[in-house]
Structure 1
């Protein structure tokens, strides 16, 4: 059923531990694909850095053992072995400094490259999706989560993964050194540090839950920030004192977030302190054991340094391993949002890929008993719409708000697919043509046209991106749309920056001026069908008359669909189609419909009275 159509869903599921780590592993595959050379270099530097602590601990033990023998009188007086170990220890220290600098350099470079790639993946996925996604709030929640992870998550996973590898290798070498003292020393260390992992995982899930389910509110706060600081709304913000109201909501929401964050921080840090205290007690017991062994001369002097450094490194590295695993789990939870977003697929299939629209269209375009309900809603917008546009014909579509006029345009552009019925081009179902080619043959000027913070030339040229550098074409389109006088008055003409978001020389246009720019953009294409959706809503009467005189001439010999509430403008059409409740109520020329005395005549007279 039409009413059961579904759009992007907002359901969030928290991944289990192995699943979250698999998502982190998928990121590392992407990292390698981004730059195999840098990834291999980072792996080699990580391995070298991981071995340095063990070399330093072992060489320092040898130095202490040699000094102990000489002090006790059991040595041979040759200090060469001690000096060799001092040199080896120094070289290990230098190697550690060098590898840390190298790792930081490679991580930063690789992280920058991959973060850019992740953002491009989101942009490319967004560009491939249907308009229906962008009319669904649930999609924006997913987009917010994915964009947040693209900014931070991948780089953190790179750092945590290689950091974990380094810590595991270092931990293995330290445990090996501790085994030279006793196996139970290793057991004590592991027993007193392992519980931290469970605690970290538990609080990672809670952090994920907090941030993920905040997404709608976070987006709303970002919207408030944009409203308060945007030049398009600043006048209303001041007149209606909206800024204070929105700042109040912002402050209260932030206070609630802060209380939640503080509660989580207090509980997680309290648990961390208790576990660290447990580890310290275990370390104290082992240190007493080793110290007594040296005092009784059962163990060499170097074993104190071996234990002290190995134990400190083991505790520290174990903590780093557990923290890295927990962090990878947490980042894996968040990066799942990134991959979930990338799994979105277009809802409008391109079954006719490669099948071009006829040039020229010889029979016209026909809506044949078209039914449509927007995804996620139950109210049918079009309930059997049928009308045709023949080659060279100008058809006006009128009706009250919500009658389905703009929806019909969206279906014709294949932003959505019909639920029932068909839209035909030269007798062939619209769905059998290539989607991109359909859109290339349509020039549309929407009622909610774009006001791009770009140059005047680009604002016009965006209508045909392949001819963005063709200034002759841009000037011609500006002439057709009536935008040339507007542009000629700008400080730098077509090179003038429109809007004041970027640079100090930007110029703000009035609503009517922006609409003329949008009209010019629509005329950039040499399209077979021109659709004008309320194209003169922001123009005064004189400008409107001028534009429609232009439209009358420019659409000569071409199909055109005109949507307007102003009955003075629709009279230029060859035929007027009146829509009510998603179907055609009546159609004909202005004179025919006035003689009919139906809905068109009633609405025309009602509007005419307002001008008397």
Structure 2
């Protein structure tokens, strides 16, 4: 029942996006049934006409013209469907369903990426859902075609000799059971191998992605990865080998049954009828032809049912994505009126889903409009997690986050995020144009070029881009363009920082995006941002304290708590953890000069 329900849901999607495909498939089913019947009948008719001593040749030709005329018409209908419409509609389906899936994927909560089980579901849905959908419909059409052929030729067989159906029933039952077990076994193996397949894919990516090249060339990383690949391959080989061995035995059993029932038993029975003069040679040939065809149609039905059952299992993954209801994303809520909001964090505690340990505990702070604050601390202090809460990637576990007095829970996440331009330390450079990398959208307004050029000037990358042939239309990276621009690590950070300069939002969040720059360059960039955006709220995240000395207020975090707060002068006077960290870094930097 679930198999049928899942497949019907998928077929409805196909009907919605590719209605012409449904219509052409209907005619293909009719044409296939007609052509199969003609091909069986023509054998008996021709042999009988040839054996007749007084047969009129003109009548033979006329009947052949009629038969072949119908056959050719049926073949034309099938050729239009399979030779043209199938490929066209498959492309149309993939195009439309991928758009829907991408839109759904964009609304997944961050928590779903943290959950291995949900991530596996998401991965399977996104990588296989598009083709599984159209494959489901194709299998359904294949099923209907074979059912139609089966009944068409089956009626012909019943008219000839009902006893022949016994062979058909036995063969179809065995084939169905074997295919059912085989498909179920392969799906189970596929699910069990999912994690190993992803690990194998990760190892392959490390070898071909440019960002890993230095480690590949200068360390023993290749040997380590090859060892890991061997471990993964052993698991994959064992899992698939066991399944292949069982599948081989199933196929042998099916072949033996087919030979005994379909060939040996049927031939002996029909030859006995010829011997007893119950039927003539024409009926013998037609019956054998019909039985062989019906058996093949049964295989087609069983194969289609297996594919439908197999697809239904994967459709579960697809439907998980389609029916996914985010808890944070796309949840709706209030609109924000203020252009310079006040943000309040009140006794906030947070732990990641399915985790017992709190990452943040009793966090309290207030960010006033146009204030420049810094959140500092060693790695693992909880700085980035706090920023994720400010961006409403998660709901807090305890306490409350407020924006202009409204709880984050009551405000649309899109309203909150449009207040920010955020740049993280793990920023990405995409294989699109310079302009699109800065704006993170396509060219839309007349002022876009001017905005991007100004942002590149402020980021210190103007001359580099101006020297390229296509200027702002230069494609970044060489992944899709041999003439693509490849920037150094520092230049990539400047390009990413240009996104901040190009944005028009009241709040700027910088989560250590300049960590690859030298301390002086990082300080200059941050100082420029603080100076240029006096009318904006700026939140700096850093563990390099020299870059945050100009902030209005500094919050020092340790083990998920705020342990000190104040401006640079106040914190230095306290001679607490901030003072120790600052002096240590200053001493280290002086020694390195």
**Distance in 2 of aligned mates of 1:182 and 1:234:** 72
Q: CA deviation at 1:472?
A: 0.9
**Partners of 2:435 and 2:443 within 8 A in 1:** no
Partner of 2:368: 390
- From 24, 44, 49, the equivalent of 1:41 is 24
Gap runs ≥5 in structure 2:
none
Change (3 A) 1:412 1:603: same
Change (3 A) 1:234 1:449: same
Alpha-carbon deviations, 1:411-437, whole Å to 9, x = none?
Answer: 111111111211222222223222112
The answer to whether residue 178 in structure 2 is matched with residue 199 in structure 1 is: yes
Partner of 1:221: 200
The answer to whether residue 316 in structure 2 is matched with residue 336 in structure 1 is: yes
**Distance in 2 of aligned mates of 1:85 and 1:48:** 19
Alpha-carbon deviations, 1:529-578, whole Å to 9, x = none?
Answer: 11111132111233223213311212212211111112211111111112
Superposed, 1:456-495 pairs within 5 Å as 456-462=434-440, 470-490=448-468, 492-495=470-473
Partner of 1:282: 261
- From 68, 86, 92, the equivalent of 1:107 is 86
Change (3 A) 1:252 1:445: closer
Deviates more, 1:281-290 or 1:230-239: 281-290
Partner of 1:88: 66
Q: CA deviation at 1:170?
A: 0.6
Change (3 A) 1:98 1:349: closer
Change (3 A) 1:115 1:596: same
Partner of 1:400: 378
Partner of 1:517: 495
Change (3 A) 1:609 1:51: same
**Partners of 2:105 and 2:321 within 8 A in 1:** no
Gap runs ≥5 in structure 1:
1-17
The answer to whether residue 108 in structure 2 is matched with residue 132 in structure 1 is: no
Partner of 1:4: none
**Distance in 2 of aligned mates of 1:392 and 1:112:** 51
**Distance in 2 of aligned mates of 1:531 and 1:328:** 49
Deviates more, 1:481-490 or 1:22-31: 481-490
Aligned residues: 588
Q: CA deviation at 1:384?
A: 0.7
The answer to whether residue 354 in structure 2 is matched with residue 371 in structure 1 is: no
**Partners of 1:111 and 1:158 within 8 A in 2:** no
Helix, strand or coil: the match of 2:502? coil
**Distance in 2 of aligned mates of 1:582 and 1:36:** 55
**Distance in 2 of aligned mates of 1:583 and 1:289:** 87
**Partners of 2:35 and 2:75 within 8 A in 1:** no
Partner of 1:7: none
Partner of 2:524: 546
Per the normalisation by structure 1, the TM-score is 0.90
Deviates more, 1:334-343 or 1:248-257: 248-257
**Distance in 1 of aligned mates of 2:488 and 2:393:** 29
**Distance in 1 of aligned mates of 2:293 and 2:190:** 34
Q: CA deviation at 1:357?
A: 4.2
Deviates more, 1:343-352 or 1:227-236: 343-352
Partner of 1:291: 271
Per the normalisation by structure 2, the TM-score is 0.93
Change (3 A) 1:480 1:53: same
Change (3 A) 1:321 1:195: same
Helix, strand or coil: the match of 2:379? coil
**Distance in 1 of aligned mates of 2:414 and 2:530:** 27
Partner of 2:10: 27
**Distance in 2 of aligned mates of 1:29 and 1:446:** 42
Alpha-carbon deviations, 1:503-534, whole Å to 9, x = none?
Answer: 11122212211111111102222211111111
**Distance in 2 of aligned mates of 1:351 and 1:199:** 47
**Distance in 1 of aligned mates of 2:523 and 2:479:** 33
Q: CA deviation at 1:169?
A: 0.7
